[in-house]
Amino acid sequence: MANIVQFENVGLRYGGGAETLSDVSFTLSSGAFYFLTGASGAGKTSLLKLLYLAQRPTRGGIRMFGEDAVTLPRARIPGFRRRIGVVFQDFRLVPHLSAYDNIALPLRVSGVAESDIDAPVREMLAWVGLDQRIEAKPPTLSGGEQQRVAIARAVIGRPEILVADEPTGNVDPDMAERLLHLFDSLNRLGTTVVVATHDFHLLGRIPDARMMRLDKGRLLDPTGSLRFPPTGEGA
């Protein structure tokens, strides 16, 4: 499989303190499924921010879609980001838009015709179990419902890369399983998936998933090629 992302000795420092990420090197193979684990504060969200170009590294190299992502001109960042679906740890839904319109947003931004939007949006709403809450606005939804809207919005455009930060942190185990199945289906269609999670229960669910483990800002398996033992919890 070709590499879709390549990090080389990446470091990230916020302000003047110690590095939050140090010497992070890995490649993501196009079409593979990755879990990113590590204790709270280990740097998972920070690494994902580099992946979806919300943050530039302080040092090191990042290549993405065959191009240098560090020196990418600012004007080209939106074009790159349209190829990446993101489920934010804090959802970031548009509060005054309905669940339906939040999910439709990426299609509208990409210029999809209005007549081609309704069917996929309704399909996604059904997938995440929110077909009864189509008109609800995010502030009136529960945390788990908001999370599901955020997931539907991230996957609806069939991104080349899906980055999900604790995407099952607010839902019950049955829904977590269902959402993981959705990611798996998307992965089978060719999307490269990166899921940051604390939930060890999820890790064994995707037998081919590769593990990336962060410890205090350093990656323990630099190639990200270790397979998770299907029975153990030894990640």
Ligand X SMILES: Nc1ncnc2c1ncn2[C@@H]1O[C@H](COP(=O)(O)OP(=O)(O)OP(=O)(O)O)[C@@H](O)[C@H]1O
Residues of the shown chain interacting with Mg ion in the complex, contacts defined by CB under 5 A: 44-45, 89
Nearest distance, CB of residue 199 and Mg ion, angstroms: 13
Q: Which one of residues 4, 26, 28, 44 is an interface residue with ligand X (CB under 6 A)?
A: 44
To Mg ion, the closest distance from the beta carbon of 168 in angstroms equals: 13
Residue 43 touching ligand X (CB under 6 A): yes
List the beta bridge partners of residue 210.
Answer: 34, 227
Q: Which of 40, 110, 115, 231 binds ligand X (CB under 6 A)?
A: 40
What's the Cα-to-Cα distance from 86 to each of 14, 25, 69, 77, 155, rounded to whole Å?
22, 21, 17, 14, 8
Provide the mask over 77-106, with x wherever binding to ligand X is found by CB under 6 A and - wherever it is not: ------------x-----------------
**Binding to ligand X by residue 168, rule CB under 6 A?**
no
Burial of 50 (0-12, 13-18, 19+ CB in 10 A): buried
Query: Would you tell me how many other CB atoms lie within 10 Å of the CB of residue 205?
Result: 17
Q: Cβ 174 to ligand X, closest distance in Å?
A: 23
Among 24, 42, 128, 202, binds ligand X (CB under 6 A): 42
Reading the block at residue 54, the tokens are 């919300």
SS3 155: helix
Cβ proximity to ligand X: between 15 and 111 the closer is: 15
Degrees, nearest 5: CA angle 119-124-129: 125
Q: Which two tokens stand for residue 190?
A: 């060719």
Q: Which class for 71: exposed (0-12), middle (13-18), buried (19 or more C-beta within 10 A)?
A: exposed
14 belongs to the binding site for ligand X (CB under 6 A): yes
**Binds ligand X by CB under 6 A, chosen from 37, 46, 102, 146:** 46
Q: Which is nearer to ligand X, 14 or 172 (CB)?
A: 14
210 binds ligand X (CB under 6 A): no
Residues 22, 27, 37, 45: which binds ligand X (CB under 6 A)? 45
Q: Which two tokens stand for residue 64?
A: 């993405």
Residue with tokens 């191009």: 67
Q: Are 42 and 217 in contact (CB under 8 A)?
A: yes
Which residue, 38 or 106, has its beta carbon nearer to ligand X? 38
Interface residues with ligand X (CB under 6 A) are 14-15, 20, 38, 40-46, 89
